[in-house]
Amino acid sequence: MLFVLAAVCAVLLSVNLYKIFMILPDEANQGAIYRIVYVHVPAIFTGFTGFFIALGASAAYLITGKLKYDAFAAAVTEVALAFATIVLATGMIWGRIIWGIWWAWDARLTTMLACWLIYAGYLMLRRAIDEPTQRARLSAVVSIFGCVDILIVWKSIEWWRTQHPAPVLSVRDGGGMGPGMEAPIYWNWLAFMCLAAILVIVRTRQERMAREIDSLRRMAHAY
Amino acid sequence: MIDARNFTYMFYGFAAAFVILVVYVVSLALREHKLRSEIDRVRRMVEQSEKKI
């Protein structure tokens, strides 16, 4: 399974990078730097997809009380946070050229930073609590609240006047990209989702191993 | 000059994404290694406790 996903991811990324660098022309106003959008947007789609999956897993834990859902939510959140970090880093590099500054405290950037901090806080909370059921219950609540911020991040460029560009994708009635320039964004999203799936599988296995260590330790102390 | 900087920063953008992913993958690999050796250690501990009994 892992090898199939890795192969699909490698093929997709190779084809996409070839298209992005060798076929697509520079954007009329921004030049070459616009190509960062092919990492920035797929990374945020992957990150937000991960956070919503974690929301589902957290809700499943609260309903059923099964720790496997909590472990899965933790794994997905950690991987999604890595993609959210890519979003912030690539956005800052793009802003340095287009705006002349690394950071602007506008609504989109600030809510995205808040989102990153909420989920980083989620992972720190998990490290701070030793008791498994209490840790699972509290982190599930943080995960569910965190998703509210995702909706604010998503709508922020419509609700407030921001320095961040308005929607450009046709799915959001943007239509600001030239023909053929939009498709690689979705293909890269698919490639990133394959990569994220690999990382989540590995991370979930590690959560299982950590649980096994806990039960072995309890067994050793019982003797 | 602006075009050259534009191209350089595009490279930085892709490089930053790549570096973040590589750092995360390396941290996962290190964690996996640590967990495996911890499991082996605790299993040995359980076996020794069982032998004593």
Q: Model ipTM?
A: 0.90
Amino acid at B15: A
Give how far A84 is from chain B: nearest CA, Å: 10
Per-residue pLDDT tens over the stretch A78-95: 999 999 999 999 999 999
B23 in a domain, yes or no?
A: yes
B12 in a domain, yes or no?
A: no
B37 in a domain, yes or no?
A: yes
Q: Given CA atoms B24, B28, B33, B35 in this order, what sign does their dihedral have?
A: positive
B34 in a domain, yes or no?
A: yes
B3 in a domain, yes or no?
A: no
Question: How many structural domains does chain B have?
Answer: 1
B49 in a domain, yes or no?
A: yes
Domain that holds residue B38: 19-53
B36 in a domain, yes or no?
A: yes
Q: What is the pLDDT of residue A178?
A: 74
Per-residue pLDDT tens over the stretch A154-175: 999 889 888 888 877 777 666 6
By Cβ distance, the residue of A33, A90, A216 closest to B6 is A33
By Cβ distance, the residue of B17, B20, B49 closest to A223 is B49
Minimum CA–CA partner of B30 in chain A:
A206
DSSP letters, A113-179, are HHHHHHHHHHHHHHHH--SHHHHHHHHHHHHHHHHHHHHHHHHHHHHS--SSPPP-SGGGT---S-T
B45 in a domain, yes or no?
A: yes
Q: Are B13 and A94 inside 8 Å of each other by CB?
A: yes
Q: Are B20 and A202 inside 8 Å of each other by CB?
A: no
Exposed/middle/buried for B51, CB within 10 Å: 0-12, 13-18, 19+?
exposed
Give how far B37 is from chain A: nearest CA, Å: 10
